[in-house]
Structure 1
Amino acid sequence: MSLELYLDLISAPCRVIYIFAKMNHIHFQYFPMDLLQGQQHSKEFEAISIEKKVPVLREGSFILSESVAILLYLTRKYSTSIYWYPPDIHMRASIDEYMAWQHESLHIPMRKILWSKLLIPMITGQKVPEEKMNDILKQVQTNIQLFSDHFLKDKPFITGKIICVADLMAVVEMMQPVGANHNIFLGQPKLNAWRQRVEEIVGSRLFQEAHQKLFTIKKWDTSLLNNSTKEKILVMVQSVNK
């Protein structure tokens, strides 16, 4: 029974699954999705994901969504190295704490930077108001400082001297604004040193491969969007601006 992963590497949660599977030599069938072209709304994909979201893992009749659940499933199913999700109860609790915190505090704000600084102007031809943009950047600054002070502290990695799934998820989320030429690591020496340690362990080639679509999104030709897809994106834009 083969493992199937449905991913769009413009999405940070999809990239972390892709990187983790590749690093751990987990064989999978890769089904690339294109969220910006509306492939998640196809009838074929809806049969796999009623929520029409990625990432999605499928093994036969077993289907799993949500990046945290998929990551933890992969660590157990494929008996990956214990440092990814250590058996030590306190280390595991620290990872769980980060996983519970990251969606609202990192994933959504980092995604908002990409959309507000790049994708919304590209699609609508209108800039996001400066006041709104400043609010987003202020929230990001507050939350990366909290990450640095509370989760990272003075350790090389979140759980101590060795990388874990939380480090991988965090660094990929923090890369999201780079697609809009916004580098949150500038002026953050401790945070940047941590990023470099994580990237070194991942390997530069794999790290670049996983982020290639993000790095080139600024060259996206929005004229290829059909009206139906554009309308769906505009609805998403409204949610981003809330």
Structure 2
Amino acid sequence: MTLRFYYDLLSQPSRALYIFLKMNKIPFEDCKVNLSQGEHMTDEYAKINPFQKVPAIIDGNFQLTESVAILRYLSREKSVPDFWYPKESKAQAKVDEYLEWQHINTRLSCAMYFQTKWLQPILTGKPPKEERVAFFKKQMIDTLDNVENIWLKDKLYLTGEKISVADLLGTCEIEQTRMAGYDPCEGRPALHAWMERVKKEAHPFYEEAHSRLYRIAQKHKGEPPVSLSKL
């Protein structure tokens, strides 16, 4: 039975999972969930994911939420190269190290900056509070500097010399800041080279997953539109 994939490409982990599925030629039923139209908040979608977030999958009669859990599951259950989530204990532990770190670092800091500066003003119709934007920007900068100086020190990818699920999650989170008008690569040559490396390896699916984000970033120059329906 075909995997059913529930996602929206404006969601960072949705993009990571989309790229992973496409790169590994894992067939799936395309179940788009339009976040801007509130489709994730319906009673129908709550049966798929009671937390009413994306992504989610149904594989046969097995339902699963949370992007990290989904990527680990697919790496075990589907025919994918071992480098994505290695079976060898120490190599797997290095990937897990980033996956655990990212929850309150890359994911939290980049998402909170994006939400505070860009998304919340759209939802509330009120300008962002500058002190909150500055607070989350500092956290994000500290996190991105850690990616530059610690995670990418002497390595091509976050957890070693080959791409892994960690790199897809990491780049997709960092790309989100562009919609809020931030250039994460400025002043960070190692991070920039790594993102370009992942983009090249994941071509053309990386560009496909991010095409709408890039259009929004280019059109609005970091300024939030009047409403989500204008995206």
Residue 119 of structure 1: aligned partner:
119
| AA of the residue aligned to 2:46 | E
Residue 75 of structure 1: aligned partner:
75
Percent identical: 37
Greater mean deviation of Cα atoms: 87-96 or 117-126: 117-126
| AA of the residue aligned to 1:144 | L
5 Å-filtered alignment, 1:4-153, equals 4-153=4-153
Task: State the 1:220 CA deviation.
Answer: 5.8
| Residue 220 to residue 58, structure 1, CA distance change in 2 (3 Å) | farther
Task: State the 1:43 CA deviation.
Answer: 1.8
Residue 161 of structure 1: aligned partner:
161
TM-score w.r.t. length of structure 1: 0.86
Q: Among 223, 227, 231, which residue is 1:222 paired with?
A: 227
Q: In 2, Cα distance between the equivalents of 1:46 and 1:135?
A: 33
| AA of the residue aligned to 1:43 | D
| AA of the residue aligned to 1:17 | L
Q: In 1, Cα distance between the equivalents of 2:183 and 2:145?
A: 15
Task: State the 1:187 CA deviation.
Answer: 1.1
Q: In 1, Cα distance between the equivalents of 2:6 and 2:226?
A: 23
Task: State the 1:86 CA deviation.
Answer: 1.8
Q: In 2, Cα distance between the equivalents of 1:9 and 1:77?
A: 24
Whichever structure has more helix as a proportion of its residues is 1
Q: Helix, strand or coil for the counterpart of 1:155?
A: coil
Greater mean deviation of Cα atoms: 170-179 or 104-113: 104-113
Task: State the 1:5 CA deviation.
Answer: 0.3
Q: Helix, strand or coil for the counterpart of 1:31?
A: strand
Q: Is the 8 A contact 1:179 1:216 kept in 2?
A: no
Residue 211 of structure 1: aligned partner:
210
Number of aligned positions between the proteins: 224
Task: State the 1:89 CA deviation.
Answer: 2.0
| 5+ long unaligned stretches in structure 1 | 226-242
Task: State the 1:224 CA deviation.
Answer: 4.7
Task: State the 1:158 CA deviation.
Answer: 2.2
Q: In 2, Cα distance between the equivalents of 1:223 and 1:76?
A: 37
Q: Helix, strand or coil for the counterpart of 1:215?
A: helix
Q: In 1, Cα distance between the equivalents of 2:225 and 2:208?
A: 18
Residue 182 of structure 1: aligned partner:
182
| 5+ long unaligned stretches in structure 2 | none
Q: Helix, strand or coil for the counterpart of 1:154?
A: coil
| Residue 172 to residue 130, structure 1, CA distance change in 2 (3 Å) | same
Task: State the 1:223 CA deviation.
Answer: 7.6
| Residue 30 to residue 154, structure 1, CA distance change in 2 (3 Å) | same
Task: State the 1:120 CA deviation.
Answer: 2.3
Q: In 2, Cα distance between the equivalents of 1:16 and 1:6?
A: 13
TM-score w.r.t. length of structure 2: 0.90
| AA of the residue aligned to 2:127 | K
Task: State the 1:150 CA deviation.
Answer: 2.8
Q: Helix, strand or coil for the counterpart of 1:64?
A: strand
Task: State the 1:113 CA deviation.
Answer: 2.2
Q: Deviation digits for residues 140-169 of structure 1, max 9, x if unmatched?
A: 111122223332211111232211111111
| Residue 156 to residue 96, structure 1, CA distance change in 2 (3 Å) | same
| AA of the residue aligned to 1:102 | Q
Q: In 2, Cα distance between the equivalents of 1:109 and 1:188?
A: 17
Q: What is the aligned-residue RMSD (CA, Å)?
A: 1.9
